[in-house]
């Protein structure tokens, strides 16, 4: 009998199967993060030693390439051609999970800080009606926790870093929402337009930013073209 490694699926599984490899590839291929600290931020429960080992494994197997960022002097990990081909695999896996697994628990379990960090990295800044903007998010964690404030300071349409203070600037737009609502919108279980109409997302500020909110606000590539409003009880 032939060993299962003669099967391309089994051979590919040997690359993807080690724990956390898929989450690391999701971070790099889908969320477009490349430095070690940002990769760890997306999988906070994993030790730095294990993340380093998994990255080394993926480099050795030709999925990632390790480079030095000449600006920051930090190591970064870039998908090779083989790695980029896995993006379609990851999206397909995500579509399967979206269709067949109950995701309500993950929407409620989302960490607001992590969610807003990911949203900031995926903002469509080209759709913003202005080059510079300060946007404040007032996010309600749950009924027992007071709202937390997060800030994006956008300059020259560059992707913003998440901030926990205003830096003394007045916000051009204030977004008020539950964490679960923002998570459900990002995951395409519902849409920003629908939740604004339901008054689950409240916008206050510059009218052009309000009018274009759904265009520049981030959403996952998974399920982007098959949004099916799915009203979780407390979203």
Please give the pLDDT value at position 228.
Answer: 57
Is the backbone of residue 27 left (phi > 0), alpha (psi -120 to 50) or beta? alpha
Q: Is residue 221 part of a domain?
A: no
CATH number, residue 12: 1.10.10.10
Express each pLDDT in 191-204 by its tens digit.
999 999 999 999 99
E-assigned strands of 93-216?
133-140, 148-154, 162-163, 173-178, 201-205
* Among 83, 100, 117, residue at a domain's last position: 100
Centroid of chain to Cα 53: 23
12-43: pLDDT as tens digits: 999 999 999 999 999 999 999 999 999 999 99
Write the pLDDT tens digit of every residue in 170-191: 999 999 999 999 999 999 989 9
What are φ and ψ of residue 149, in 5° steps? Answer: -105, 135
**Whole-prediction pTM:** 0.86
Q: How many structural domains compose the chain?
A: 2
Residues of the chain where predicted confidence (pLDDT) is lower than 50: 1-2
Does 109 lie in the same domain as 146? yes
Averaged confidence pLDDT in the chain? 89
Which residues, 6+ apart, have CB-to-CB distance to 150 below 8 Å? 112, 113, 116, 136, 137, 139, 162, 163, 164
In this structure, is residue 181 part of a structural domain? Answer: yes
Give the structural domain span for 38: 4-100
CB burial of residue 212 (10 Å; 0-12, 13-18, 19+): middle
Q: Is residue 187 part of a domain?
A: yes
């Amino acid at each position: 009998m032939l060993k299962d490694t003669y099967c391309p699926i089994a051979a590919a599984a040997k690359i993807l199967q080690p724990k956390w490899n898929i989450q690391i590839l999701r971070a790099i291929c889908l969320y477009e993060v490349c430095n070690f600290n940002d990769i760890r931020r997306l999988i906070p429960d994993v030790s730095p030693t294990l993340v380093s080992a998994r990255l080394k494994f993926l480099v050795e197997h030709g999925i990632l390439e390790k480079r030095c960022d000449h600006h920051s002097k930090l190591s970064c990990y870039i998908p090779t051609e083989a790695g980029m081909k896995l993006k379609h695999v990851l999206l397909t896996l995500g579509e399967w999970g979206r269709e067949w697994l109950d995701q309500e628990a993950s929407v409620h379990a989302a960490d607001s800080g992590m969610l807003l960090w990911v949203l900031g990295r995926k903002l469509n800044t080209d759709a913003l009606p202005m080059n510079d903007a300060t946007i404040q998010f007032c996010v309600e964690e749950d009924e027992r926790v007071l709202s937390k404030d997060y800030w994006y300071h956008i300059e020259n349409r560059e992707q913003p870093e998440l901030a926990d203070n205003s830096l003394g600037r007045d916000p051009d737009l204030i977004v008020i929402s539950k964490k679960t609502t923002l998570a459900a919108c990002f995951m395409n279980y519902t849409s920003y337009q629908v939740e604004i109409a339901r008054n689950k997302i409240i916008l206050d500020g510059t009218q052009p930013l309000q009018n274009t909110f759904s265009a520049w606000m981030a959403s996952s590539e998974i399920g982007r073209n098959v949004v099916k409003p799915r009203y979780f009880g407390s979203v």
